[in-house]
Chains A and B, each alone.
Chain A
Amino acid sequence: GGIITQTPKFLIGQEGQKLTLKCQQNFNHDTMYWYRQDSGKGLRLIYYSITENDLQKGDLSEGYDASREKKSSFSLTVTSAQKNEMAVFLCASSITGGDTGQLYFGEGSKLTVL
């Protein structure tokens, strides 16, 4: 088995601040994802990466940057936090080429902007 570790678990920032979330996986999966979960809005894809140093934009990439410097890690940066923003950011990974396409999720990082 493996695990996805997201840090920090809780992040409080100020309006306009640049904030970075980190994700580590020990599944040895090729593909990693960042999703945003808002209450009542389901999960929306921000960025994904199919291999080290690859980055692909999802539907919600505006306002975010991502970095995949190692196979095991994937970081997400909120470039300018919006006042009253509150959401949970979920990191996930999957095998590329497998026949199930199962995504394994971390527990999430909860962002609050004051």
Chain B
Amino acid sequence: QQQVRQSPQSLTVWEGETAILNCSYEDSTFNYFPWYQQFPGEGPALLISISSVSDKKEDGRFTIFFNKREKKLSLHITDSQPGDSATYFCAASYNYAQGLTFGLGTRVSVFP
């Protein structure tokens, strides 16, 4: 049973559009939700994160919206650029020292 679910599996947007990536989770004890960005041939890198006490986190063109009651979150990439083309992983933990639980990822393609 997948503890962290992501949709869509892949997403194509045009340059300048907003890409919306969705994530949901099962375990209500999860309290930390990072998003990782991975380019081919590289390891994932932390993009932005949110804790369960917040409902929104913004960093430049990247924004997380969090709904604790529905156990859902989303990552919005505004003004998408071709350089944003990558796979994005939603992850969750309640004690990050014990590792993160990752979703299966969303592959984003941004065309100029």
Point out the residues of chain A lying under 8 angstroms from B36, CB to CB.
103
Q: Measured between alpha carbons, how far is A56 from B49 in the docked complex, in Å?
A: 25
Task: Pick the residue among B93, B101, B104 that contacts A41 (CB under 8 A).
Answer: B104
Task: Determine whether the beta carbon of A42 is less than 8 Å from that of B98.
Answer: no
Sorting the interface of chain B by its residue count into under 10, 10 to 19, 20 to 34 or 35 or more gives: 20 to 34
Task: Determine whether the beta carbon of B89 is less than 8 Å from that of A48.
Answer: no
Of B38-46, B60-68, B73-81, the stretch lying at the interface with chain A is B38-46
Of A11-19, A78-86, A94-102, the stretch lying at the interface with chain B is A94-102
Task: Pick the residue among B32, B46, B97, B102 that contacts A96 (CB under 8 A).
Answer: B97
Task: Determine whether the beta carbon of A101 is less than 8 Å from that of B43.
Answer: no
Interface residues of B (CB under 8 A from A): 32, 34, 36, 41-46, 49, 89, 93, 96-105
